[in-house]
Amino acid sequence: MTKRVLFYVQHLLGIGHLKRAATLARGLAADGLDVTLVSGGFPVPELDTGGARFVQLPPVRATDLYFKVLVDEAGTVIDDAWRERRREALLALWRDVRPHLLMLELYPFGRRQMRFELVPLLDAAIAAAERPVVVSSVRDILVAAPKPERNVEMVEQVERYFDHVLVHGDPGLIPFERTFPLATRIADRLHPTGYVVDRSRSHDPAGPGAGEVIVSAGGGAVGEHLLETAIQARPHSAARDLPWRVLVGVNLPDETLQRLAALGGAGVKVERARGDFAALLARCRLSISQGGYNTVMEIMSAGCRAVVVPYAGGLETEQTLRAELLAARGAFAVLPEGELAPETLATKIDAALAMPPPAEAQVDMNGLAASRRLVAGWVAEVGW
C-alpha cells in the first residue's frame, strides 16, 4: 500500500517557507509516497510541487512586519468565523487524506497565530486509532522568542505532539541550540538534515542569465528598496556594462514593476520572478539579493559570486546571522540592510566581482536527500 503524507505550510509575508516545503514535497513524491501539500498562504504562480497534490486553503497573509495583523484575500482582517471555516476545511482534508505521516512546516517553533487550526489538527492526529507519525520541519535558525516562556511552550508542544523534528541546517555552521536554547530538552527528537536545496536539475550554460547580473528579492513583499537601490548602484559599479536582470516578486504590484523598468533604462531587463531562478544563478556573473534561506542555498549551489543584503525588518535576525556566518567562510559579500545605498552597494558589487569563484559549498547541502531518507524510514514503520 502506498503510504500517505500530509504536509502543512503557512507563509505570511515572503514565500520562502512555501518554496522549501514544495522542494521537500517534490522529493517525497518522487520516492513513491502519496504526498498532499496544503498551503494556507496566498497562491504563488509557477509553484512546482512535482508529483505531489497541492491543496489551497482560504489564504491569509500578514500586513505588518511583526505578523500581528492577518487579512484574507479581500484584505479583510480575519475573525473567529473565518478561523472556524478554515479549521473545518483543514480537518476535512485530514479526514480525507488519512495520512501515515503528518508534517507541519515551522510549527511549533513559529506560526503561533495558526494555533486555532493546528492544535485541533494535532489533537486529531494523536487521538486517531490509526495514528500517524507527526513531524515538524524547521529551518536552521529561529527568530528569537520575544518572551522566554514561548520557548517553554514550544518544547511542551513538541513533547506532547511530535515524534520527530527535521532541522534543515548544518550544525557545523550553526547548531540549533544557538537560536533555540531549550534544544537539549528535545534532543532525542531532533534530526539535523543539512540544508535543503534541489540540486537535481541540469542547466543549459547558454540559456537566459548567462553573463548577467541577477537582482532578486524573493517574494518581493519587503524587497522593493533593494531592487530600486541596485538599479541606482549600477552606473557606479564595475558591472555597469553588464546586462542586468531585475526580478520583481509576486507580492509587488504591477505599478512597481513598471516604475523599476523606467528607472532601469537600457541594459536593465525588469520582469516578474521566474520559476527557473536556480538556472539563472547557475549562468550569471553576479547575484544581488536578500538573504532568505532558499536564495542563499541556491546561490551556494550555483557557485556564483554574490552580494547578499539580509532582510532585517521587524524582529528578523535569521537572515543576518546566516549571511554573516557564510560570508566568514568566503561564500559571498554581505551588506547590512541599514547601510544599503547606491554607493555602498556599488562598492560591494566591485568587491564581489573581484573575489575568486566560490569554492565548493563548505556546508552540508544534502538536506533534501537526508529528509527523504528519514521520512521513508518513518513511514515504513507505520503498521496500518
Which pairs count as long-range contacts for 173-178, CB under 8 Å and 24+ apart, including other chains?
173/140, 173/325, 173/326, 173/363, 174/140, 174/141, 174/321, 174/322, 174/325, 176/140, 178/141
Where residue 195 falls among pLDDT bands split at 50, 70, 90? very high
Q: Can you give the pTM of this predicted structure? A: 0.94
Model confidence at 49, pLDDT cuts 50, 70, 90, reads very high
- 211 pLDDT band, cuts 50/70/90, is very high
Residues paired with 269 in a beta bridge: 245
- So what's the pLDDT on residue 384? 94
Supply the mean pLDDT for the chain: 94
Q: How far apart are CA 188 and CA 185, in angstroms?
A: 8
The Cα–Cα gap between 63 and 217 comes to 18
More confident residue, 146 or 99: 99
Contact residues for 296 (Cβ-Cβ < 8 A; gap 6+): 308, 322, 323, 326
Q: What is the per-residue pLDDT for 202?
A: 64
Residue 118 has pLDDT above 70, yes or no: yes
pLDDT at 184 over 80: yes
- What is 213-354's CATH number, 3.90.105.20, 3.40.50.2000, 3.40.50.10420, 3.40.190.10? 3.40.50.2000
Q: What is the pLDDT of residue 360?
A: 62
pLDDT 10s digits, 52-92: 999 999 999 998 777 889 999 999 999 999 999 999 999 99
Q: Tell me what pLDDT residue 249 has.
A: 87
Q: Across residues 295-302, what is the average pLDDT?
A: 93
pLDDT in the model for residue 45: 86
Mean pLDDT to the nearest integer, 113-133? 97
* Least confident segment among 24-33, 155-164, 360-369: 360-369
The answer, yes or no, to whether residue 291 has pLDDT greater than 70, is yes
Domain extents in the chain: 4-196+365-380, 213-354
The superfamily CATH assigns to domain 4-196+365-380 is Glycogen Phosphorylase B; (3.40.50.2000)
Asked whether the domain spanning 213-354 has the same topology as the one spanning 4-196+365-380, the reply is: yes
Nearest to 110 by CA among 35, 165, 29: 165
Task: Give the per-residue pLDDT at 361.
Answer: 61
Give 335-383 pLDDT, tens digit per residue: 999 999 999 999 999 999 999 887 766 899 999 999 999 999 999 999 9
